[in-house]
Amino acid sequence: MFKIILIFSLNSIILTQVFGASIIADEKLRNLEKAKEILDKYPLIDGHNDLPHMIRTNFMNRFGQFDLNDMKQSLISSTGKEGITHTDIKRIREGKLSGQFWAIYANCQTDAKDSVRRHLEQIDVVYRFVEKYSNDFQFVQKSGDIMPAFKNKKIISLLGLESGHAIDSSLAILRVFYELGVRYMTLTHNCDVPWATNNQIDRLANASSYGGLTKFGRKVIQEMNRLGMIVDLSHVSYQTMLDALDESKAPVMFSHSSVYSLCNHVRNVRDDVLLKLKQNNGILMINLYNGFIKCGNQVPTMNDIIAHFNYTKNLIGVDHIGIGADFDGVDLTPPDVDDVSKYPNLFAALIENGWNENDLAKIAGLNVIRVLADNEKYAKSVENMEPIDDYIDKTDLDPKYSECRTSF
């Protein structure tokens, strides 16, 4: 009797070892198929991708030097190096990425110099690739144009201005950027602007003595709300986050930030801010950069990524989550989602972790479309308001700005 039981259980151990692995593999395959089906049904719109900057860094914006169908090959043939490339049409299609806020970025060294020019040149890059590859891309400025473009299998191309120094403290320049199609502006990059502080001050012991938005900074928010341009709080300081959430009449976004409680990097978002984001009906678009998912130079696993999604869902609900992977803006990406072709892996893993189709439709694109639509709605509700024609106070400007201004 005893012997029989022993043989029986030994057999079942062997059976589990042989068949268990393939059952798990089957389930993974099914989840991946399901993920792809969902992404065929609902648009996936990522909040932040630095392809325009990648084109500048590697090709000086010379369109003869690369083919956007295959950037891996372009890098090798133009520069002789594999380099870092996360985005091209081939991989966008494979990854079922339906739309993208392209980041319009010029670094902090351009501030008080040629920042306006450099940001405009990056807008030109997006206009040019949308035009050159018009079978694939479509330029979009209104939430209502997103679903039709998705149905036509176009890669929806929206503009996000990454850095507040782009407007050189001028509401007139802000309005011109809106006219050019910019639909969000990140208030700062990793440097202060004369009207808002950035995340780097949060590393200092006396961070709280720096403040967040100035009086003019609040005007910038009011004018963005009036226009219907989303306020983006990735890269800003903790106090600027709080001030902007206090001032904004429309939902705000974090276009590419993750959860501070899981990785306490100053670029990530603290719980109290996330709770205010929920009240504001805004969105955290989770950044996949290794250093924001897993602090301490560790390579993130898929579970580490899922933890950020789970945590945010538990704290503020699924209506306030999106994805802002930061591809082509970072050097290190998680092995399981290392470029734009791998979004289906992320969605398959979320399915494996109990996320349903409704959840996935929202975090893929429906939430960010709602945020854009809410900003449009607010703008419509104040359409009789005059543009704000305040100038920044001269005393708010560091002397370095006098070199790039003929007069105040």
Site stretch for ligand NAG (CB under 6 A), options 77-85, 177-185, 285-293, 303-311: 303-311
Going by C-beta distance under 8 Å and a sequence separation of 6 or more, which residues neighbour residue 239? 197, 207, 208, 210, 211, 212
Site stretch for ligand NAG (CB under 6 A), options 201-209, 264-272, 281-289, 332-340: 201-209
Site stretch for ligand NAG (CB under 6 A), options 48-56, 69-77, 171-179, 206-214: 206-214
Active site residue 235: yes
**How far is residue 198 from each of residues 64, 188, 339, measured CA to CA in Å?**
37, 6, 28
Question: Which residue, 172, 193, 187, is CA-closest to 110?
Answer: 193
Residues 403 and 214: beta-carbon distance below 8 Å:
no
Q: How far is the CB of 203 from ligand NAG (least distance, A)?
A: 11
Question: Which residue, 158, 151, 153, is CA-closest to 49?
Answer: 158
Active site residue 326: yes
Q: How far is the CB of 302 from ligand NAG (least distance, A)?
A: 8
Active site residue 53: no
Number of residues lying near ligand NAG (CB under 6 A):
10
Q: Quick one: tokens of 20?
A: 């268990």
Site stretch for ligand NAG (CB under 6 A), options 19-27, 163-171, 304-312, 337-345: 304-312
Residues 139 and 182: beta-carbon distance below 8 Å:
no
Which of 17, 209, 384, 407 contacts ligand NAG by CB under 6 A? 209
Computed from CA positions of residues 154, 183, 54, 86, in that sequence, does the dihedral angle turn out positive or negative? negative
By CB under 6 A, is residue 22 in contact with ligand NAG?
A: no
Active site residue 50: yes
Q: Residue 5: is it exposed, middle or buried by C-beta count within 10 angstroms (0-12/13-18/19+)?
A: exposed
What letter represents residue 322's amino acid?
Answer: G
252 or 306, CB closer to ligand NAG? 306
Going by C-beta distance under 8 Å and a sequence separation of 6 or more, which residues neighbour residue 393? 215, 216
What letter represents residue 304's amino acid?
Answer: D
The two beta strands, 155-161 and 137-139, are parallel
Q: How far is the CB of 264 from ligand NAG (least distance, A)?
A: 18
What letter represents residue 61's amino acid?
Answer: N
Active site residue 396: no
Q: How far is the CB of 408 from ligand NAG (least distance, A)?
A: 25
Which of 354, 358, 400, 404 contacts ligand NAG by CB under 6 A? 354
By CB under 6 A, is residue 206 in contact with ligand NAG?
A: yes
58 or 197, CB closer to ligand NAG? 197
By CB under 6 A, is residue 306 in contact with ligand NAG?
A: yes
118 or 342, CB closer to ligand NAG? 342
148 or 335, CB closer to ligand NAG? 335
By CB under 6 A, is residue 152 in contact with ligand NAG?
A: no
Active site residue 256: yes
166 or 274, CB closer to ligand NAG? 274
35 or 307, CB closer to ligand NAG? 307
Element (H, E) at 50: none
By CB under 6 A, is residue 353 in contact with ligand NAG?
A: yes
- Dihedral Cα 235, 236, 242, 243, nearest 10 deg: -140
By CB under 6 A, is residue 253 in contact with ligand NAG?
A: no
Which of 61, 113, 310, 332 contacts ligand NAG by CB under 6 A? 310
Query: In whole angstroms, what is the distance from residue 283 CA to residue 367 CA?
Result: 7
By CB under 6 A, is residue 78 in contact with ligand NAG?
A: no
By CB under 6 A, is residue 210 in contact with ligand NAG?
A: yes
Helix (H, G, I), strand (E, B) or coil at 169: coil
By CB under 6 A, is residue 346 in contact with ligand NAG?
A: no
Active site residue 320: no
By CB under 6 A, is residue 318 in contact with ligand NAG?
A: no
Query: In whole angstroms, what is the distance from residue 377 CA to residue 383 CA?
Result: 10
232 pairs with which residues across the strands? 186, 253
Q: What is the DSSP secondary-structure string of 357-385?
A: HHHHHIIIIIHHHHHHHHHHHHHHHTTTS
284 pairs with which residues across the strands? 254, 321
Residues belonging to the active site? 48, 50, 162, 189, 235, 256, 326
User: Could you list the residues that contact ligand NAG (CB under 6 A)?
Assistant: 204, 206, 209-210, 303, 306-307, 310, 353-354
